[in-house]
Chain A
Amino acid sequence: MKLDSKTYNYTSKKSTNLILVFAGLVLLIMAWVAGFDSKEFYFSYLTSFFFWLSIILGAMFFVFVHYAFSATWSVAIIRVMENTLMLMPIFTMLFFPIIAGMELLFKWLPNHSYWLTHSFEADHLIQHKLPFLNKEFFLQRAVAYFSLWNLIAFYIYYTSTNHDVTGDHNALKKLKNFTMSPIGVLLFTSITFAGLDWLMSLDPHWYSTMYGVYTFAGSFLAFLAFLTFTLIRLKDQGYLKDIVSEEHFHDLGKYLFAFTVFYCYIAGAQFYFIWYSNIPEETIWYLHRWVGSWKTISILLIVGKFFIPFFALIFRGSKRNIRLLQFMSIWILFMHYIDINFIVMPTFHHHDFHFGIYDLASMLGFAAIFIGGFRYIMSRSPLVPLNDPELIHSINHRNH
């Protein structure tokens, strides 16, 4: 079998992509300058930041699973996931505004405006958590997460792309060893703690033991939707013809379906535990999300993030229908944004859901950086790992 090199070499104008990244950065900086002292900006920024970062974290999980189990079916689509990883360096830099706005975001800092009217020393729950939630340790942890994620991104991306050039199959062995090593455990620990640090600690009185896996479930689902959408887009543009087939989309559809259910299971379990036990400092989190238009958002999440994808993707025919999958992947990404907004924003907009200029600016800024950067990285290497001996099996992959 001969593959047409036009279908696996992504061509995209370097200047356009870099201008897109630059425009995104300018937009974010403008928003930051305008909202330097406003809480609203930092909350919006954190929402968008976590939305796009979670796609990269989901990609890391997929890449780890792929190499650790020497998966065959996903060989044809692995490079697209690896390209996502290389956005990590730029997202490391984009974390700085969050550090700058820490005292506006996180209530557990003694300088937060909440303590102007309340006594910091008298708050036992916060005092109890101070050994973990303090500025120094928070920053050290952030450094640790980003070093780890960058290490993973660079190691996997460069080992895999070098394999294309050298053809030395030791690369696959190295990747397998790397992904099977304790780094995998560290990765999932870091995703859990990043969720705790950046999202759960926004409301430091509240805690949930399901939170880490909740962050992970949402991230992975968002990544799967992003991957499906990207592959469909690439195919529409004429790439990956004869490489990625209906069979791969069928499997991605199964993945989307399965993780829709998994997300619902985790989010549901978190809710049931809190609902059953009915302890005030736990239920308050849901109570904040059950007032005003937040109630509508909560119901939208139940219907839109579970029931709609569940019934849309349950049939075999719909998993093989590329247009439906494309729609569902956009829908799931949209619902993921609503989900992150639902997690972050009620801490700031106490009464109503609100989509303001800062939300729009940071969302557009991050989208421009992500898409521009992603297209640029994609054009730097072939879209499939050309020297992987399993590539042919992946191309001929069939669902039985």
Chain B
Amino acid sequence: MNTYGVIARFNDPVELVHAAEKIRDAGFTDFDCHSPFPIHGMDDAMGLKRSKLGYVIGAMGLTGALFGFGLQTWIHSIEYPMNISGKPFFAYPAYAIITFELMVLFSAFGAVFGMMYFNSIPRFHHPVFYSDKFSRVTSDAFYVSIEISDPKYNEQEVKSFLDKIGGTDIEVLKDEN
């Protein structure tokens, strides 16, 4: 039997936000909040930093633009120069559209795969699913989980702390074998 952490249920999104603030202020770093829908202000309440995804998208966009421009320059003016309606071989105005499209494409890849990387998805299982009651989180329950990897983790203290800040249905996550 391995232990993975402690979960506690809260009644509504407002309570969940306040609970997140208290957990953050108590100095926990490895905890998560689970709710059926996104809650405005949760990032601040959990003390999360701004996502780095924007920089990934920016870098990918720039790469895509340079790649698109470079590709066309190489094809049209070096590898296979062709006279198209009397325009010069290096007809850079004509490259703008493909450059732009590849920038968008690369940024979109950066956004989707970067998001997946930062969220560690796809992922087939998570310890919170050891709790049977937890499945309600997709309809009407608001859960907080504090994971065992947190440096301040101490099972008894965490349980009493969650109880103190108003959590119910407190459970310790354990696997079956």
Q: Flag whether A316 is at the interface (Cβ < 8 A).
A: yes
Pair B96/A272 contact, Cβ less than 8 Å: yes
Interface string of A373-400 (1 = CB under 8 A from B): 0000000000000000000000000001
Query: Which residue of B54, B85, B96 contacts A278 across the interface (Cβ within 8 Å)?
Result: B85
Within A51-89, which residues are at the interface with B (CB < 8 Å)? none
Q: How close is B154's CB to chain A, nearest CB, in angstroms?
A: 34
Known contacts A278-B85, A316-B54; is-contact A400 B40 (Cβ 8 Å)? yes
Within B80-134, which residues are at the interface with A (CB < 8 Å)? 85-86, 93-94, 96-97
Pair A276/B54 contact, Cβ less than 8 Å: no
Pair B54/A272 contact, Cβ less than 8 Å: no
Dominant secondary structure of chain B at its interface with chain A: helix
Q: How far is the CA of A271 from the CA of B50 in the complex (A)?
A: 39
Across-interface contacts of A278 in B (CB, < 8 A): 85-86
Across-interface contacts of B86 in A (CB, < 8 A): 278
Known contacts A278-B85, A316-B54; is-contact A272 B40 (Cβ 8 Å)? no
Pair A276/B40 contact, Cβ less than 8 Å: no
Q: How close is B152's CB to chain A, nearest CB, in angstroms?
A: 29
Pair A275/B93 contact, Cβ less than 8 Å: yes
Pair B85/A272 contact, Cβ less than 8 Å: no
Number of inter-chain CB pairs below 8 Å: 17
Interface string of A257-278 (1 = CB under 8 A from B): 0000000000010011001101
Q: How far is the CA of A278 from the CA of B88 in the complex (A)?
A: 13
Q: How far is the CA of A395 from the CA of B85 in the complex (A)?
A: 57
Pair B96/A276 contact, Cβ less than 8 Å: no
Interface string of A274-315 (1 = CB under 8 A from B): 011010000000000000000000000000000000000010
**Nearest-neighbor residue (CB-CB) of B94 within chain A:** A276
Across-interface contacts of A271 in B (CB, < 8 A): 93
Q: How far is the CA of A314 from the CA of B107 in the complex (A)?
A: 14
Across-interface contacts of A316 in B (CB, < 8 A): 50, 54
**Nearest-neighbor residue (CB-CB) of B85 within chain A:** A278
**Nearest-neighbor residue (CB-CB) of B50 within chain A:** A316
Q: How far is the CA of A345 from the CA of B164 in the complex (A)?
A: 74
Q: How far is the CA of A264 from the CA of B43 in the complex (A)?
A: 35
Across-interface contacts of B43 in A (CB, < 8 A): 400
Pair B96/A268 contact, Cβ less than 8 Å: yes
Q: How far is the CA of A316 from the CA of B57 in the complex (A)?
A: 14
Within B31-49, which residues are at the interface with A (CB < 8 Å)? 40-41, 43
Name which of A271, A278, A314, A400 has the most chain B CB atoms within 10 A of its CB: A400
**Nearest-neighbor residue (CB-CB) of A278 within chain B:** B85
**Nearest-neighbor residue (CB-CB) of A275 within chain B:** B93
Interface string of B58-70 (1 = CB under 8 A from A): 1000000000000
Q: How close is B86's CB to chain A, nearest CB, in angstroms?
A: 8
Q: How close is A312's CB to chain B, nearest CB, in angstroms?
A: 14
Across-interface contacts of B58 in A (CB, < 8 A): 314
Across-interface contacts of B96 in A (CB, < 8 A): 268, 272
Q: How close is B61's CB to chain A, nearest CB, in angstroms?
A: 10
Across-interface contacts of A275 in B (CB, < 8 A): 93-94
Across-interface contacts of B85 in A (CB, < 8 A): 278
Query: Which residue of B41, B50, B93 contacts A272 across the interface (Cβ within 8 Å)?
Result: B93
Q: How close is B104's CB to chain A, nearest CB, in angstroms?
A: 12
Q: How close is A183's CB to chain B, nearest CB, in angstroms?
A: 35
Across-interface contacts of A268 in B (CB, < 8 A): 96
17 A-B pairs with CB atoms under 8 Å apart are: A268-B96, A271-B93, A272-B93, A272-B94, A272-B96, A272-B97, A275-B93, A275-B94, A276-B94, A278-B85, A278-B86, A314-B58, A316-B50, A316-B54, A400-B40, A400-B41, A400-B43
Q: Please name 15 further chain A to chain B contacts, defined as beta carbons within 8 Å, in addition to the given A316-B50, A400-B43, sorted by A numbering.
A: A268-B96, A271-B93, A272-B93, A272-B94, A272-B96, A272-B97, A275-B93, A275-B94, A276-B94, A278-B85, A278-B86, A314-B58, A316-B54, A400-B40, A400-B41
The 10 closest A-B pairs by CB, nearest first: A275-B93, A400-B40, A272-B93, A278-B85, A268-B96, A272-B96, A271-B93, A276-B94, A316-B54, A272-B97
